[in-house]
Chains A and B, each alone.
Chain A
Amino acid sequence: MPRLLAGVEPTGGEIGLAEHFAQWGVLDLRRVGGDLVDELEASGLVGHGGAWFPVATKWRSIGTRGTRRPVVVANGAEGEPASSKDALLLSRMPHLVLDGASAAAAALGASRVVVYVPARLTHGIERAVEARRRHGLDPVEIEVVSAPDAFITGQESAVVSALDGRPAVPSFVGLQPVRVRGVGGRPTLVQNVETLAHVALIARFGAQWFRAIGTEQFPGSMLVTLSGRYAGTVVIEAPLGLPLREVLALSPGSESNYRGALLGGYGGGWVSMPTLLEVDLTETSARSWNTTLGAGVVVLLPHSVCPLVEVARVVRYMERQQAGQCGPCVHGLAALDEAVRCLALQPASLRGGVEPILDLCALIDGRGGCRHPDGVVRFVRSACSVFSDEVATHLRHGPCHLIDAAPILPIPHFRSAHAANER
C-alpha cells in the first residue's frame, strides 16, 4: 500500500509511459491469454463500479465461442456526483487503465476495445493511446468515446446504447444481457476503469501478490472518494476490510463530529456516526447496515446543514436524472420528490408523516428497468431512519433554522438525462 496510487503526488500531471514503466515495469500484452482469467479467479478481484461482482465469473460468462468476437469497454463515465476516483485514475494514471483494458481484450480474444469517458477527459486519454501506439503496445487499437454528463450514462446497457449510436439511456436486457448481446450485437464486457487498473497489476504480479492485503472474500485495495469534510474532498486508497474509522484517520481533518454519513453515493444509504465507525470497507459490512459501498463514496455530513434539505436536493436531482422510460420510475420518483421536498420545506403539508414516503419507496423498489430507482429508494429509506429525530422535529415544529445553509452534497449541472444526450 498504496498500490494504484503508488508514486502519485497529490498534485501533478499525467504519469507518462516512461514513468509508468519505471513504476510498474512493462506488461507484454502479446503474452496475455486465457490464463489471466484463472489468475483473476484466484485473486478474488471484484468490480469497483458499484455492483461488487466477481470479475472472473463475469469474464467467463462472455460468449467467446460464437463467431462474433467480444467487445471490451472500460467504463469511466463516473456519473456519480460525489465520486472522483475514476477521473483521478484516468487523468493521472491512464496507462494503468489502458493496460487493464488491453489485457482484458487479449484474455477474451476481443477485437474491439473502447474507453468510455466524460468529454473533458477524452483528450488526455487520446494522447495516452497515441503514445502507446508509437510503442506498439496494444494488440487491438483502443478507441476513445465520450460519455454524456449525466447520472445514468454509465449504467451498463446505457453504455452499450451510447456505443451503438443511440441515446445513453438504459435499455431492456431482460432476455439477453449485454455480456451475450451488447455493442453491435456482440458479447460485451463492461468493466469499471478502477477494476481494470487492478487487472493491470494482477496481470503483472499475480493473484498471491494481490491477496497480500484485503480480506479473504474481498481482497486487495479500493479507491475511496471522501468528501463533506471541513478539509475538502480527497481520494484515498485503502485495503478492503479496513474499519472506516481507520480510513477516516488516513486523511487528517475527518475525525471531528458529524451528523451522519452517506455511503455509496446518491444511490447509496445514510448511516449514523456510531454506525459509520462500525462499518468496515467491504460490501458485506455495508449491506449489513442497509447501505452499499457503491463506487467507494463516503460523504460526511456536518452539523451545519439540514439533512432533510440535503436529501430533498439529491432526490430532486435523481428524479431529473431518470431517463423517462419506465412508468414506476417516472411517476414514483416524481411523487417521492414532491413528498421529500414537503418533509424538508413544508412538513405541515405532509399528511401522515413519513408513512406515505415509505409506502412510495415500497411501491418503487425493484420496478425500474435498471437499478436507478432502487438507489433512490435506499437513499430515502436510510435517511428516514438515520435522521428520524430530525424528521420528528420537522413534523412537530416545521422547517429547521438550517433551511438556507450552504449545501454540502454536490449537484452538477442541472440537466436531464435527455438534455445531456442531446448536447
Chain B
Amino acid sequence: MKRRVSLVIDRTTCDGRGLCAELFPERIVLDPWGYPIIDGDAIPRSLLDHARRAARSCPLLALHLIEGRQ
C-alpha cells in the first residue's frame, strides 16, 4: 500500500479568489468564472510542497490535502 495524497475543495466555501491557482499552477487552473479546476489525481512527492502551500494559503480554508491509501 502506498500513501496517496490528493487535493479536495470544499466547493460550498470556495468563492473563487484564485490564490491556489497562483501558488500551484502545476495542478490548479481557473474556470471562466474564476473557480479552481482540479483533478482527484494523486500529487507526486515532488509537488507536495507546492500543494501544501496552496492549501495552507487559502483565505477561506476551502482547500484540503487528504491522505488515503491505495
Interfacial residues, chain A to chain B (CB-CB below 8 A)? 170-172, 174-175, 325-329, 331-332, 363, 367-369
Contact = CB atoms under 8 A, between A and B. Distances in A.
6 closest residue pairs by CB, A with B: A326-B11, A327-B35, A369-B11, A331-B33, A172-B10, A325-B12
A328 B32 contact: no
B31 interface: yes
A170 B8 contact: no
A175 B33 CA distance: 25
A364 to B, nearest CB: 9
Given A326-B14, A327-B15, A327-B16, A174 B66 contact: yes
B34 interface: yes
A68 B26 CA distance: 42
A174 B13 CA distance: 12
A175 B64 contact: yes
Contacts of A331: 32-33, 35
Nearest to B31: A363
A172 B33 contact: no
Interface in B23-70: 31-35, 37, 64, 66
B31 A172 contact: no
Contact of B64 (A174, A327, A332): A174
The majority secondary structure among interface residues of chain B is loop
The majority secondary structure among interface residues of chain A is loop
A326 B12 contact: yes
Contacts of A329: 11
A331 B14 CA distance: 13
Nearest to B33: A331
Contacts of A327: 11, 14-16, 31, 33-35
Given A331-B33, A363-B31, A363-B32, A325 B66 contact: no
Nearest to B40: A366
B66 A172 contact: no
Contacts of A171: 12
A152 to B, nearest CB: 12
Contact of B33 (A325, A328, A369): A328
Given A327-B15, A327-B16, A174 B10 contact: yes
A331 B30 CA distance: 13
B31 A325 contact: no
A172 B32 contact: no
A332 B34 CA distance: 12
Contacts of B16: 327
B66 A368 contact: no
Given A174-B66, A327-B34, A367 B11 contact: yes
Contacts of B32: 331, 363
A293 to B, nearest CB: 26
A88 B37 CA distance: 42
A176 to B, nearest CB: 11
Given A174-B10, A327-B16, A332-B33, 19 more contacts: A170-B12, A172-B12, A174-B64, A174-B66, A175-B8, A175-B66, A326-B11, A326-B14, A327-B14, A327-B31, A327-B34, A328-B31, A328-B33, A329-B11, A331-B32, A367-B31, A367-B37, A368-B11, A369-B10
A369 B16 CA distance: 14
B33 to A, nearest CB: 4
Nearest to A330: B33
A363 to B, nearest CB: 6
7 contacts: A172-B12, A174-B8, A175-B64, A325-B12, A326-B14, A327-B35, A331-B32
A327 B60 CA distance: 14
B11 A325 contact: yes
Contacts of B8: 174-175
Nearest to A327: B35
Contacts of B12: 170-172, 325-326, 369
B10 to A, nearest CB: 4
A327 B17 CA distance: 11
A59 to B, nearest CB: 22
Contacts of A175: 8, 64, 66
Contacts of B11: 172, 325-329, 367-369
Contacts of B64: 174-175
